[in-house]
């Protein structure tokens, strides 16, 4: 399974999106706002915790850049890869 697919599954599982499948989530679609998944700030917190737990790193001290990392599944996957390198 690709990292992007893992992240999509993580989004579904951690946010309880039972009516959405991995195939429903566009890799480049916005995660927040009116387009794409339309997640909110509470979802962002949940997803951030899930990402840290699933991939084994902390995101403290990066508040300024976190918003851009969580733009889409693709930007999040790129961020996880950079942290695992």
Residue 62 is predicted with a pLDDT of 61
**Domain 3-84: CATH architecture, name and number where available:** Orthogonal Bundle (1.10)
Residue 73 is predicted with a pLDDT of 97
pLDDT digits (tens, 9 = 90+) for 41-82: 899 999 999 999 999 988 876 666 778 899 999 999 999 999
Q: Which residue has the higher pLDDT, 7 or 59?
A: 7
Structure token digits, residue 66:
């976190």
3-state SS, one letter per residue, for 15-75: HCCCCCCHHHCCCCCECECCCCCCECHHHHHHHHHHHHHHHCCCCCCCHHHHHHHCCEHHH
For 82: left if phi > 0, alpha if psi spans -120 to 50, otherwise beta; the answer is alpha
pLDDT digits (tens, 9 = 90+) for 8-21: 999 999 999 999 99
Residue 7 is predicted with a pLDDT of 97
Cβ atoms of 55 and 78 closer than 8 Å: no
């Amino acid at each position: 399974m690709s990292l992007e697919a893992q992240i999509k599954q993580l989004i579904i599982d951690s946010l309880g999106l039972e009516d959405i499948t991995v195939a429903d989530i566009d890799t480049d679609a916005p995660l927040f706002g009116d387009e794409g998944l339309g997640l909110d700030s509470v979802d962002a917190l949940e997803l951030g915790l899930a990402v840290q737990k699933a991939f084994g790193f902390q995101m403290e001290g990066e508040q300024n850049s976190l918003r851009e990392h969580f733009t889409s599944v693709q930007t999040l996957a790129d961020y996880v890869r950079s942290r695992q390198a």
